[in-house]
Structure 1
Amino acid sequence: MAELELQKMEKGKDGGKDGEKEKEKFDAQAEFNKLLGGSRAGGAYIPPARLRAMQAAATTDKSSPEYQRLSWDALRKSITGIVNRVNVANIKHIIPELFQENLIRGRGLFARSVMKAQAASLPFTPVFAALVAVINTKLPQVGELVLTRLISQFRRSFKRNDKIVCHSTTTFIAHLVNQGVAHEIIALQILVLLLERPTDDSIEIAVGFMREVGAFLAENSPKANATVFERFRAVLNEGSISHRVQYMIEVLMQVRKDKYKDNPIIPEGLDLVEEEEQITHQIQLEEELQVQEGLNIFKFDPNYLENEDKYKQIKAEILGEDSDDESGSEESEEEEDEEEVEAKEGIEDRTETNLVNLRRTIYLTIMNALNYEEAVHKLLKIQLKEGEEIELVNMLIECCSQERTYSKFYGLVSERFCKLNRVWEECFEQAFANYYNTIHRYETNRLRNIARLFGHLLANDAISWAVFECIKMNEDDTTSSSRIFVKIMMQEVMESMGLKNLAERFKDPEIRMHCQGMFPLDNPKNTRFSINYFTSIGLGIVTEEMREHLKVRCLTPRSLVPSC
């Protein structure tokens, strides 16, 4: 805490009363100001012992520039440290700690720290937005400054064609809109600007922005939301952008169809502000903005002590009357906390650091292997906890999907794992269902590689053909991506087994039971769809039973069966 650091500095003043001789040699305040205050980089190097002595001599007057400079540096370090520690698990404990600092004096420091932290870790954007939303309810000038700087940063990066900064800034603005800190008009203005003259980069940023804010706009501005998607369709029909970006728009359409189930307005655990308490800022994209860059640097305050007392009163109103007493006894509490931490056993890791390290190890092992046998041998040496087998399977499939063309290396590695142990076979079967249900998120090349990998496993009986249970071959339950996936997979199986053997395999009673969704007999419409699909991909031989069924059904009197 900034106050505690200053209090510790003041304790060394009592021993310096006999420093009359030292004052004759040099003026401590003047030298301290010369060494520390004259340079943005911090001045010359000073040994720690001498620096402490000079700080004690130079900070006898709390209203002096030297004391204010020290308190400013302590405030900057404290705010930066607190912002960098925040996550979903501890945000409720971090917020009172942040209010202990003078956020009115340090609002520029807070805005800079939170924007820098968000740009460095985009997955934590909802957490930083929730933090700003809570502070905005008590200190709206802080929330307004953060939003103003984000809009200004977006305008600059858009003019400079800086896609990375544009993407991070729009993501932050989207979550501030979701939290109610910013009005939805700014989101619509950004979308209009990005879609007005479509390029690959502007459409890519617009798609990412829409994924984050789309659920909010669909709920609060349905007409404007529909207009935005009409513009996306127009861009798609014009064909002036690359196939990769066109596919991104198609994926966004599917996300909208799924009602943004993977992109909720406010993630679980971050709905910390009541709707009626939130203060919404209506800042326009084109209006003149007051960025107040001067708040980032130290300035001497002639009314420093008065302003500090005013903030203490504000802090007491926000945190309760006992906040001063709590801060007074904080040193003793910190010592007790340290003892408690030492006594604790078994710390739970919620940062998923171990999981990230495990994935890195698996990836490097796969990439460094000369052949599939060496890869399997090295991968089996990795110490996996119970339940982490699926991580290895997912990494294998992801590595395969990232290749430019399908490599049989991954098929052989996966096949060997499946035949080593039933646990691995079940993991690959589980992965098949997961990837089939989310295959619309993948680009065509990645989709092709994943389909050929599973085709290899099926052709070599590495996984059970019972996985076909998740495939429902009809117009309602399939997408263009899933149909392409099944086509490539079945063609891979046909190349390995031969068309005749494949047809015989599908006649097996046990496999037919699991393939009822692929070859539906319940509804003539679905039956026709399946027949047409498999015939078009060169597998008409497997549709003979469905054709006979359809023929018999149509010959039956109309009074007994539904119309064909």
Structure 2
Amino acid sequence: MEKVEAKSRREKRKESRLEKSRNRFQSWVQHQGTKKKKNAALNDSSRGGAEMKFGGKSDSSRKRRKNAVESKSKSNSKFQEFLRMDMGLAAAGAEEDLEMERRLAKKLKVKDGRLAGLDDGLNMIFEDLDPIEDSVVVNGGVEDGGSEKLLRSDKKMRSKKKKKPRESEVAEEVIAGASDTEIIEEPCAEKPAAERKAKYVAPHLRGCANAESEEISQIRRRVRGLLNRLSELNVESITEEVATIFRSVSRSVGCQVIGDEVVASCSGGPRGNEQYGAVFAAFVSGMACLVGVDFSAKLLASLAKSFEDEYSKEDSLSLRNLTLLLSYLCIFGACSSDLLYDLLSELGKRLTELDVATILTILQCCGMKLRGDDPSAMKDFVLSIQNRVNVLKSYSEGTQDGNPNINSKRMEFMLETICDIKNNKRRLKEDPAHHTRLKKWLQKLRAEDILLRGLKWSKLLDPEKKGQWWLSGDVAPTTENIDDVATTINMEVLEAQKLVQLAAAQRMNTDLRRAIFCIIMSGEDYIDAFEKLLRLDLSGKQDREIMRVLVDCCLHEKMFNKYYTVLASKLCSHDKNHKFSLQYCLWDHFKELDTMELNRSMNLARFVAEMLASFSLSLAILKSVDLANPVYLTPKRIMHFRMLFESIFENSDALVWNIFTRVSALPELEMLRSSLIFFMKQYVVAANTEKPLASKFKIAKKALDNVAGILM
């Protein structure tokens, strides 16, 4: 009793399973015996009838049949009968074992759903041997469909050389041999090697994994989130934040990412109203003020391409949103009215239903502004529309079907709007009081400086990219001009070597000074040089070298180049430390005027005059110079400061007034003001009797006496 109770649950389940299998096998054996008896009886009856029919052959046929049965029974040895019995017992429980294996694999989270152990290498030894079960079953005379299927499946598996776990292989073979009508197969879905070794990519990154890097994708998502929250109340803060993101990457990448997101937000977004278009247009104009006009130029090019794509798809919703953005870009001063007139002329030539809707949107949004900017162009547009409508009406009258666009209400409303614009009748939507907040903000940013003139719709869509200055460096070279590209690269390498040699010749004796020199001299424009100088990320007092190298480069030029003053003004407006460094650098050069070459002195005078005219510096920089001291005023110094004031007087009266007014209200600069009046009267006006200089001297003198500091 103790021994029986000590049996585990697993052993009990195994015994019950074997008992069940044994009963099934015994019933199968009995069924086969009865089946054979029936077949033998049927054969005897048929043979008996044949013997009666043909006669004399019953004894010989009976003897042959008896010998065949005896030989068949002899061929079945005891060992083979034992194997057949063992297979029969195991086949019944194999299905339960596989089910238990699948459950355990699911709980244990085994890969591929199989409990496969480590390969001990024995499968390679028995790989070429035929399975024992197959040979036994076939030789034993069990001719059923399961054995044939097993043989075919085994040959197929060995031809493909698939290595399966030994336990599952034995189970599948046993099941196939035991069943007459059903084959239980559980294939192992193996993944390709390339897919198993591939790095996991998150679902939200799979779309752009091959197109761009993860860093650019993060920047794109951040910009998209900011644009989704864009409104009239937060447009200033969001524009500054996006401008900060723009400065953290290269200009081409920044323009591409931000421009794509702006155009996608308009073309792929919901139906937008005038407020929607105004906010996005104000954002684009603000970005152009903060980062440069090339941003707005590239965005206009991508907007034109997207407009043509949506027009070909006849998507009226996207076309309306893009048209609103383009119209408000014209209102906020990012592009001129010439671009919209060019688009209106293109739409007026076709004048389909979609064209009428687009023209109506433009005229409702900025029709009065277009009329005020260029009345003659508006008159030509009105005449062209009237002529086109008359042509379409005559064509519709000559045909039976007629043109449905001519008699549509939208066409009538467009003609009424054109008539109102021609007669200078203002509508409520074009009230100038609208979007006052956005206009004041753009006025602070000096949006009038970012106006793009001379742009044409055809120029934006030019496939050859002729005249598109904003695409410098972005157009990929073709195989046709590969020789030109190679020549250009070689020339750039030679120019870089020449720059290094020139830096050494101009006593740029440190790596930092040589790097600054190469950046300033190799910059495409002042913005490119400015950004490269900021990326140097100079620490401590190293940024003082920038202004010294810049002034030195300016003085070495044979003819004065205004590029250096624009770059210096940009640096001074960016950081006050550059302004202080420039002042100390100029004071050091003022001390060397007696020994300075004439060309260098002339360039220095023009440089200081341009910096004063741009209000990056004030006349207070001359407080270190005693212009009223005859001992100090040597001939070279007199000539230098005379060229300085003559360059100042070349500006307009208002600018001269503002330059001298900046030092009029400070009491500590009284000595400077008196010395300026003395020098200009004694050495500038008296030496040159021309009337323009005398009149400019009077303006400067009044400005120095302007204690209130009122600017013109």
- TM-score of the superposed pair, with normalisation by structure 2: 0.32
Question: Over alpha carbons, which structure has the higher Rg?
Answer: 2
Q: Which has the higher contact order (CA 8 A, sep 6+)?
A: 1
- TM-score of the superposed pair, with normalisation by structure 1: 0.40
